[in-house]
Amino acid sequence: MEPTIKNGDKVWLSNYAKGTSPERGDIIAFTGEKESISLKRVVGLPSETVVIKGGIVCIVTQAKPQGEKLDEPYLAPGTVTGPDGEFSVPDGRYFVLGDKRGSSLDSRAIGCITRENVIGKVTKIF
C-alpha cells in the first residue's frame, strides 16, 4: 500500500456500522487465503465494472455506461495501472487495488473481495 502505508506502520481499524458498507477510496483490511490479513483500497463497488486501459482506471455503472475516469490523488506521481482488462464486480463484492500498483497482489489477481471477508476500514495510520 505504499506510499500511503509503509512497512512497519501500524493502522487503526473501524468496523462499518450496521447497514453500512465500504465506499470507493476506503482502505480496508480483509482476510484472504490462509486467513492472512491484507490492506487494499476499494476501487469498484458491487454491480460496477472496472476498466483498466492505457494505465487509467475507469468505473462503468448503469448511470454512466460510457465510464468515468477514477481520480486517484493517493497514487505516487507516474504510477500506471496495468495490465489492461475489464472486471465485473458481482453483488456483495468489492474490487480492490493496492496503491503500489506494479507489485500489488489485489483483485486483478485474486478476484473481488466478499463483504463477509472485510474486517474494517483503516481510519488512522501510525
The overall average pLDDT reported for the chain is 94
Q: Where are the beta strands (DSSP E) in 45-92?
A: 49-53, 56-60, 68-69, 85-88
Rounded to the nearest angstrom, the gap between the alpha carbon of residue 72 and the centroid of all alpha carbons in its chain is 11
108 by DSSP, 3-state: which?
A: helix
Q: Where are the beta strands (DSSP E) in 16-114?
A: 27-31, 37-44, 49-53, 56-60, 68-69, 85-88, 93-97, 113-114
1 vs 81, residue with greater confidence: 81
pLDDT of residue 33: 73
pTM tops 0.85: yes
- What is the tens place of the pLDDT at every residue in 43-93? 999 999 999 999 999 999 999 999 999 999 999 999 999 999 999 999 999
Domains of the chain: 11-125 (2.10.109.10)
Segment 119-126 shows an average pLDDT of 95
